[in-house]
Chain A
Amino acid sequence: MTQIATRPTENYYASNRLPSYAVGILLAVAFVLSWGAFSFLRPEGAEEGVNLPLVGVVTALVFGLLQYLTSLLVEGSRRAIDRTVTLMVVLAFVLAMIPLLSLLYTVVSLGAERFDYDFFNYSMRNVVGEGGGAAHAMAGTFIMTALATLISVPVGLLTSIYLVEYGSDNRLSRSITFFVDVMTGIPSIVAGLFAYSLFSLILGPGTRVGIAGAAALSVLMIPIVVRSSEEMLRLVPNELREASYALGVPKWLTIVKVVLPTALAGITTGVMLAIARVMGETAPLLIAAGFSNNFNFNPFSDRMQSLPNFVYYSYIAQGSVPEAYLDRAWAGALTLILIVMALNLGARLITNIFAPKYGR
């Protein structure tokens, strides 16, 4: 009798697997190999040390190759390919994160210098060197963004209500959708030029006021609000509308009391994101609202400063003490990023608060 070749305890569905520590070992080997190669190849007496980013790239490549080969030998080709593709996905993610982290690091480290009490409490009036702050720019940004929101939310929301509830894909609603899409693609400076020329026609040439900046921002904001609210309104199940109609509720009350509350969380999030998006606009405000070193709380007269323009001017027109101007520019950039981040977090929070609850 011949011995049966396979062991009886072996599981038909099981196959060899690389232990989890093998990945660590391979990574270490790859790193040592590439580090060693670079150190070895380094010309004698070279001034710079080993180029670390380059070592990182080569390590990743060597590791990929080593892992593929080991896995091919131990686990078979399907798992080897699986591991390689997983590695590629992870590398793509890392690659995408590098610029983001680098930017955050730079802005935080350079912006922290002037991120102080004065920065939030003083304008740039009569400041030529050190000191001063961006309080006037923050005030301007808040006033103009608030006005832009005030203009674009009603217009955008009502447009999307028309599109979803009344348009029923007729010619008007299709053309509105088309032009909203076109508006999304308008270069922001064109929006600024539009607002500038509009207010020049009304108030005389050369007018630069806060409300013009707000108008420019709302040109950019309306299409975003329309698009996001439209999506949210379409998500409201038709069953709820029908349930409301069946109770003898007229259409407009159904929209106001059933559709809008159900979509409220999504609409608010969309609006917040739109605000965050236009808050960082520079070019349209540069043209329509101008530039100022002083506090101006009246959007209907005189120029109004905004944070992005504060950053831009601090960089472009460095005064007698360039250091101070650059520090202020970085602090301004940091403030802007923090405000936008706070708005995004606020949007998340609002989504959680207003979302329909399904708990018992």
Chain B
Amino acid sequence: MSKRIEIKDLNVYYGNFLAVEGVSMVMEPRTVTAFIGPSGCGKSTLIRTLNRMHEVIPGARVDGEVLVDGNDLYGAGVDPVKVRREVGMVFQRPNPFPTMSIRENVLAGVKLNNTRMSKSDADDLVEKSLKGANLWKEVKDRLDKPGSGISGGQQQRLCIARAIAVQPEVILMDEPCSALDPISTLAIEDLIEELKEKYTIVIVTHNMQQASRVSDKTAFFNIAGTGMPGKLIEYNDTATIFSNPSVQATEDYVSGKFG
């Protein structure tokens, strides 16, 4: 389990617009990497290229390489569906499927792919995934209630349970706490700490305290101005980024001088 991600000289485009330019970085297995930076600097765009969700938007394309354990995600003949089964994603807003119950939501990745599964295996998977997402105790008595009927924080943890139920190698989180209250945020941060034992985690966040709390490494992105491409300014250990950054812009950003 858990794989190494290597980004080599990646340019990300929306149509002709260059959104992110020249990113190269390496994320080691079983670490948490945080992407920070002002709005519009391409953090979300970049994270979406790591499981080929970027191309879901019409006109979006990429050049450069993203290697997961040495396999290029953008190589010839790569099936995005296969990539996404290994690289799971949690979105900014909780998005459980409204037509499904809590149990069905957890099993969505399996059921939607028409995989046959015995009821006891399914029950085990539901329990394991919900426990993995710290949600089991809260919902075990109402697994058949609609997934959209629980609170926002619970929904987000349900989405994490759904993502880990397909047993991915990597979990991408695009501002998973931005729609949540501090208590739910804490629950999710604790969860990230636990998930780190098994998965490679990449998280986009606007909350610098959160980045410093949960991540091992931090990448700071910035843009020179509107309409300009976002760039990776600095990528280092989280402690270094927050205490002793080597670039002035990073220091200004993490100390709150701008952004």
Contact = CB atoms under 8 A, between A and B. Distances in A.
Interface of A: 168-169, 237, 239-250, 253-254, 257-258, 261-262, 264, 356-360
A248 B98 contact: no
B58 interface: yes
Contacts of B166: 247-248
A262 B99 contact: yes
Contact of B109 (A237, A248, A264): A248
A240 B112 contact: no
Nearest to A251: B81
Contacts of B163: 246-247
B84 A245 contact: yes
Interface in B122-158: 145-146, 148-150
B201 to A, nearest CB: 15
A250 to B, nearest CB: 5
A358 B84 contact: no
Nearest to B109: A247
Nearest to A354: B99
Could you say which of B83, B112, B148, B162 has the most chain A C-beta atoms within 10 Å of its C-beta? B112
A239 B112 contact: no
B112 A358 contact: no
A264 B53 CA distance: 26
Nearest to A236: B98
Given A242-B56, A258-B97, A249 B109 contact: yes
B46 to A, nearest CB: 16
Interface string B217-239: 00000000000000000000000
A247 B108 CA distance: 8
A245 B48 CA distance: 12
Contacts of A356: 98-99, 146, 148
Interface in B151-207: 159, 162-163, 166
B83 to A, nearest CB: 8
Contact of B97 (A243, A246, A248): A243
5 contacts: A169-B58, A239-B93, A243-B162, A244-B108, A248-B81
Contacts of A357: 98, 146, 148-149
Nearest to A257: B112
Question: Which 3 A-B residue pairings sit nearest by Cβ, starting from the closest?
Answer: A248-B85, A356-B98, A247-B109
B146 A248 contact: no
Nearest to B159: A243
A246 B112 contact: no
Interface residues of B, number: 35
A243 to B, nearest CB: 5
A360 B145 contact: yes
B127 to A, nearest CB: 19
Q: Give chain A's interface secondary structure class.
A: helix
A358 B109 contact: no
B89 interface: yes
A354 to B, nearest CB: 9
B116 interface: no
Nearest to B89: A246
Contacts of A240: 95, 97-98
B120 interface: no
Given A168-B58, A249-B109, 12 more contacts: A242-B56, A244-B112, A245-B80, A246-B53, A247-B112, A249-B112, A250-B81, A258-B112, A262-B97, A356-B99, A357-B146, A358-B98
A262 B145 CA distance: 16
Contacts of B84: 245-248
Contacts of A257: 111-112
Given A358-B98, A360-B145, A254 B53 contact: no
B114 interface: yes
B88 interface: yes
A359 B146 contact: yes
Given A245-B84, A247-B166, A249-B81, A254 B148 contact: no
Nearest to A359: B149
Contacts of B91: 239, 242-243, 246
Contacts of A359: 145-146, 149
A240 B84 CA distance: 15
Interface string B74-104: 0000001111111011010101111100000
Contacts of A242: 53, 56, 89, 91, 95
Contacts of A247: 84-85, 88, 108-109, 112, 162-163, 166
Contact of A253 (B82, B95, B112, B159): B112
A253 B146 contact: no
A253 B56 CA distance: 15
B88 A360 contact: no
B33 interface: no
B145 A243 contact: no
Nearest to B58: A168
B243 interface: no
B122 to A, nearest CB: 15
Contacts of B98: 240, 262, 356-358
Nearest to A258: B97
B80 to A, nearest CB: 8
Given A239-B95, A247-B88, A247-B163, A254 B145 contact: no
Contacts of B16: none
